[in-house]
Amino acid sequence: MSSPKTFKFRLYPNRKQREQMLRTLDACRELYNAGLEERIGAWKCRTPVNYNTQQNQLPEIKAIRTELLNIYSHALQDPLHRLDKAFKAFFRRCKSGQKPGFPRFKGRYRFDSFTYPDGFKFVGSRLQLSKIGNIKVKQHRPIEGKIKTVTIRRECGAWYATLSVEFPPTALPRTDVTIGVDVGLESFAVLSDGTTIENPRWYHGAQVELRKAQRRVARRRKGSKRRRKAVMLLQKVHQRVRNQRNDFHHKLSCWLVENFGFIAVEDLNVRGLAGGMLSKSVHDAGWAGFLSKLSYKAANAGRTMIAVKPSGTSQTCVCGATVRKLLSDREHVCLSCGLIASRDHVSAQVILQRAGTLPSSDNVEAISSCVA
């Protein structure tokens, strides 16, 4: 088994390349929107369309729209794949009773990337893309593994290449140290050994800056140049926050995987929680993003990671007694065993305990176990 991994590099295209990249982006967006329109029409007269029927029309479309012949053909299949995925996700949400959110038409500023499933090659410090050319790359770290796809993305006025790479897992030296991790509401997380992982220092400043940039956009007239500029600035703040958050998540998950052989976390089912009253803190802490990084790193290093059902982890003591707490109660005081500790610390211990009862207990769901 191998794990996916991504590398992101900044691109420095020349004018001609940039123009061709924009043309590719436009063509892909147009196809996406046309495909969406066709699906809606097909649905109305009850003749279902799927990815294959849409893809088979590509040659016909190209015969009429000859300018599409200048765009790399396999890159044109990707928007139809994305559309297919969007519809599958939509139907899945319908089924599971979530707010469905019908796939949307993409405006000029809502479609920022296209994907090459092949037709790319790295030559020295340049990325060779079929029908676009040899683009200068800032390759800040070596690529490991086999490149599966290359996605070109426009972000805050700059261009980036994201490589999706497959590489064989590299197991870390065995360790039997176990740890439970609880999402904190005040801190980022609390571990079962009592360690508190604070939210990083940039966190609050970033919130203030985001609000400021958001307000600036809201004040400006829709469709105006000044609004466009404000949106660009807002995106830059978002980009910086995202980078900082990702960096923090990567470092923390690396540290956990290096030091612990068995990691128990709460399966927060973030989507379910996101609608509730805790939504802001869960979103901001980006718990889901952190968990996915932790899970692939654990799998790759041959560690065991277990997600337990979170219900009641904050209402139970390690001795098994029920200790009722309100959200505002930060202290855990157990009347049956006398344990007094901080709320999140006890929760982390309970999570570890629950994970330890695997696999007999059905309230546990394994995210990943040792490398298969």
In the complex, the smallest distance separating the C-beta of residue 364 from Zn ion, rounded to whole angstroms, is 21
Nearer to Zn ion, 171 or 337 (CB): 337
The single residue listed with the structure tokens 């007999």 is: 360
Cα gap 231→233, rounded to integer Å: 5
* Residue 327, helix vs strand vs coil: coil
Cα gap 224→261, rounded to integer Å: 55
Cα gap 13→157, rounded to integer Å: 12
In the complex, the smallest distance separating the C-beta of residue 348 from Zn ion, rounded to whole angstroms, is 15
List CB contacts of 14: < 8 A, sequence separation 6 or more: 136
Nearer to Zn ion, 237 or 339 (CB): 339
Cα atoms in the Cβ-side hemisphere of radius 13 Å centred on 258: 6
Cα gap 305→291, rounded to integer Å: 10
By the criterion CB under 5 A, which residues form the site for Zn ion?
317, 319, 321, 334, 337, 339
Cα gap 182→352, rounded to integer Å: 9
Cis peptide before 310 (omega within 30 of 0): no
Long-range contacts of 267-273 (CB under 8 A, 24+ apart): 267/307, 267/308, 267/309, 267/310, 267/365, 267/367, 268/183, 268/310, 269/310, 271/98
Nearer to Zn ion, 63 or 319 (CB): 319
Nearer to Zn ion, 319 or 366 (CB): 319
Bridge partners of 189, per DSSP, are: 183, 197
Nearer to Zn ion, 4 or 320 (CB): 320
**Residues annotated catalytic, as ranges:** 182, 266, 344
